[in-house]
Structure 1
Amino acid sequence: MKRSKYVQLSLAASVAMAISGCGPTEKTYELKKKYNFQSVQQCVDEKLPVDICADAYMTAMTEHRRIAPVYDNQADCDADFVPDWCQQDSAGKFIPKLGGFELSAEGEVTQSEVDAAKAQLPASEAMSSGGGFSNLLTGLLIGNMLSSNRNSYFSEPVYRYRDDRGSFGSSTLSQRVSTGSTFTKSNQARYGSYTDSIKSSSKPMSVASSTSRGGFGSKSSARSGWGGSSSSGG
């Protein structure tokens, strides 16, 4: 599986209008990028700050425990996700394992920050062939942005599933709902529309506001991966 399921980069250069009595402000660029990681280590390998990666993992785990569909039997759970991918919790119910986390970053960088990042890269890596930012430069800028602004990113749990063509993929629950998945056999659906509850909370949680800086446990445990006893129903 690719480390990054898909990446969206919106590079919009803008020059602010001159304010009366002042010169023009510095040129800025808007960056937007989505990563899909299976582990904290993959996130770190993408040159993102280790504390950001660890917090994003813990936020995804917290959300997983809150919103993962719960089923009375494994067959119903497997049908919505991947065969033999669901696990039994302490109450005897079945839930899908956490398959990773999606980290979405968005913010602005200045021309000075771009120039400083370019200086850290070989000249051949500074710009892409199309005149935009190369993947390496973009990753470095995103990493710097996340280090300086913890409110510029979000995290959601990701799950493995099999699509209509029999291929395996990874996606957030809100993305699954947007493409027509209903999870009607889940226990949550018995008490109302499970998809409505997902849609109402589809905006990812801010990692900075949802995760305690000192209370998520060791980074070594966060690096260990997914599934196992760390997941629970409900």
Structure 2
Amino acid sequence: MKRSKYVQLSLAASVAMAISGCGVAEKTYPVQKKYNFQSVQQCADEKLPVDVCSDAYMAAMAEHRRLAPVYDNQADCDADFVANWCQQDSAGKFIPKLGGFELSADGEVTQSQVDAAKAQLPTSEANSGGSGFSGTSLLTGLLIGNMLSNNRNSYNSQPVYRYRDDRGSYSSSTLGQRIAKGSTFTKSNQARYGSSNYADSIRSASKPVSVASSTSRGGFGSKASARSGWGGSGKSFGGSSS
């Protein structure tokens, strides 16, 4: 009998301790945002960490060197991009210049992180979005900057190129986005001499690359050169900026 009571008391104590240790889970908010930057400085101006901006630039540069279409003459290259935008490489071929980088963030933030970020804002902006994750781009930038600093795998980067659209206006996009809209780059050497369809190769190979894995390869620049910048704007808590 004594043993039975002892076991019951022990179980009751265990349950009580388990319940006391299970507090209400903190509310979290999903973050999915896409930026289109022309320079590392512009990226930093959005309140993203300089190291994140530099690494995203270097990852985009690595993909640019790997995937950019190559042409035998400047006219063909200019036709696919922008007049006088292409440059000649050491082999005498022509390639489009890198026009920027697309940085995509994907993760989540907690309510305490939202509150901490709001504490850094002017009063007028801190109170504009209620208690959740909404409101100003400055708040969004602070939250995403903290998220990216703490999780290097929560973002990726792709090279961006300048081109003229069907209406003759200048725009910027990734190669994959161009192909999705119908571009084929058929005059490029990859398309003319390659063993497979270049558009299909870009479609499969130009998927966003983890910045953490790209910048670990080395051999394509330094953070110092990345921070110096080289060249509009970006945004989306659930969208994109261009």
Count of residues in Structure 1 that have an aligned counterpart in Structure 2: 208
Q: Does 1:59 align with 2:63?
A: no
Alignment-mate amino acid for residue 111 of structure 1 = Q
* Cα distance, 1:127–1:153 mapped onto 2, change above 3 Å: farther
Residue 210 of structure 1 deviates from its aligned partner by 1.5
* Cα distance, 1:71–1:143 mapped onto 2, change above 3 Å: same
Give the whole-Å Cα distance in 1 for the aligned partners of 2:177 and 2:212. Answer: 23
Q: Retained in 2: the 8 A contact 1:100–1:158? A: yes
- Bigger drift between 124-133 and 159-168 goes to 124-133
- Name 1:37's counterpart in structure 2: 37
RMSD after superposition: 2.1
- Name 2:208's counterpart in structure 1: 204
TM-score (norm 2): 0.80
Alignment-mate amino acid for residue 224 of structure 1 = S
Give the whole-Å Cα distance in 2 for the aligned partners of 1:213 and 1:183. Answer: 28
TM-score (norm 1): 0.83
- Name 2:126's counterpart in structure 1: 126
In structure 2, list runs of 5 or more residues that go unmatched.
1-17, 232-242
Give the whole-Å Cα distance in 1 for the aligned partners of 2:77 and 2:220. Answer: 29
* Cα distance, 1:108–1:24 mapped onto 2, change above 3 Å: same
- Name 1:140's counterpart in structure 2: 142
Q: Retained in 2: the 8 A contact 1:98–1:226? A: no
* Cα distance, 1:168–1:214 mapped onto 2, change above 3 Å: closer
* Cα distance, 1:63–1:119 mapped onto 2, change above 3 Å: same
Give the alignment of 1:166-205 within 5 angstroms: 166-190=168-192, 191=194, 192-205=196-209
Alignment-mate amino acid for residue 198 of structure 2 = Y
- Name 2:11's counterpart in structure 1: none
Could you give the per-residue CA deviations for residues 126-179 of structure 1, whole angstroms, max 9, x where no partner exists?
A: 254698332111110000101111100000000000001000001000111111
Give the whole-Å Cα distance in 2 for the aligned partners of 1:88 and 1:213. Answer: 25
Alignment-mate amino acid for residue 61 of structure 2 = M
Give the whole-Å Cα distance in 1 for the aligned partners of 2:51 and 2:185. Answer: 34
Give the whole-Å Cα distance in 2 for the aligned partners of 1:67 and 1:126. Answer: 43
Q: Retained in 1: the 8 A contact 2:46–2:138? A: no
Alignment-mate amino acid for residue 168 of structure 1 = Y
* Cα distance, 1:128–1:203 mapped onto 2, change above 3 Å: farther
* Cα distance, 1:119–1:194 mapped onto 2, change above 3 Å: same
In structure 1, list runs of 5 or more residues that go unmatched.
1-19, 228-234
Partner secondary structure for residue 159 of structure 2: strand
Alignment-mate amino acid for residue 90 of structure 1 = S
Give the whole-Å Cα distance in 2 for the aligned partners of 1:64 and 1:224. Answer: 18
* Cα distance, 1:182–1:136 mapped onto 2, change above 3 Å: same
**Is the helix fraction higher in 1 or 2?**
2
Q: Retained in 1: the 8 A contact 2:158–2:206? A: no
Partner secondary structure for residue 70 of structure 1: coil
Residue 44 of structure 1 deviates from its aligned partner by 1.2
Q: Retained in 1: the 8 A contact 2:74–2:94? A: yes
Give the whole-Å Cα distance in 1 for the aligned partners of 2:227 and 2:88. Answer: 23
Residue 214 of structure 1 deviates from its aligned partner by 8.0
Higher CA-based Rg:
2
Could you give the per-residue CA deviations for residues 68-113 of structure 1, whole angstroms, max 9, x where no partner exists?
A: 0000111100000000000111111110000011111111000011
Q: Retained in 2: the 8 A contact 1:40–1:54? A: yes
